[in-house]
Amino acid sequence: MTTPSPDCVTAQTTVDSVEAAEALASAVIDRGLAACVQVSEIRSFYRWKGEVHDDPEWLLTFKTSAEAAAGTLRDHISQHHPYDEPEYIVQPIINGSEDYLQWIRESVHHQ
């Protein structure tokens, strides 16, 4: 069931409304840029103009291919994200259920 798989990754971004989370997650799935998107509520602490801010946000975690994360998914987020400077990070999947990883590969379109 398990195969080392450097070609699948998780990617993450955040938005400031549940509507933006729903829209971005649905569009990413609809366009085949990730196999699934997991959305959860968080509180984000960060410094802005010298002050520590504490804002509600929605975290989107994409399960996708390394190729899409460095290409089509990244570009879509860059073009459609409501923020000017959105968070966007990519972390490696080093192992997993082969069936699940294969589902990720087959769900993601790279063009």
Interface residue with a second copy, options 16, 76, 105, 107 (CB under 8 A): 107
Q: What tokens appear for 28 in the block? A: 């990413």
7 binds a second copy (CB under 8 A): no
Identify the CA nearest to 12 among candidates 91, 80, 84: 91
Q: How many residues interact with a second copy (rule CB under 8 A)?
A: 56
Supply the DSSP string of 9-26, one letter for each residue: EEEEEEESSHHHHHHHHH
Measured from the CB atom, the residue of 17 and 42 that comes closer to a second copy is 42
Q: Give the residue, chosen from 17, 78, 82, 110, that forms a contact with a second copy under the rule CB under 8 A.
A: 78
The Cα–Cα gap between 31 and 107 comes to: 10
With CA atoms as reference, report the closest residue to 109 among 38, 28, 11: 28
Euclidean distance between CA atoms 69 and 9, whole angstroms: 8
- The answer to whether residue 82 forms part of the interface with a second copy (CB under 8 A) is no
Judged by the rule CB under 8 A, the positions of this chain that interact with a second copy are: 1-2, 8-10, 14, 22, 25-26, 28-30, 32, 35-47, 52, 54, 57, 59, 63, 66, 69-70, 74-75, 77-78, 85-97, 99-101, 103, 107
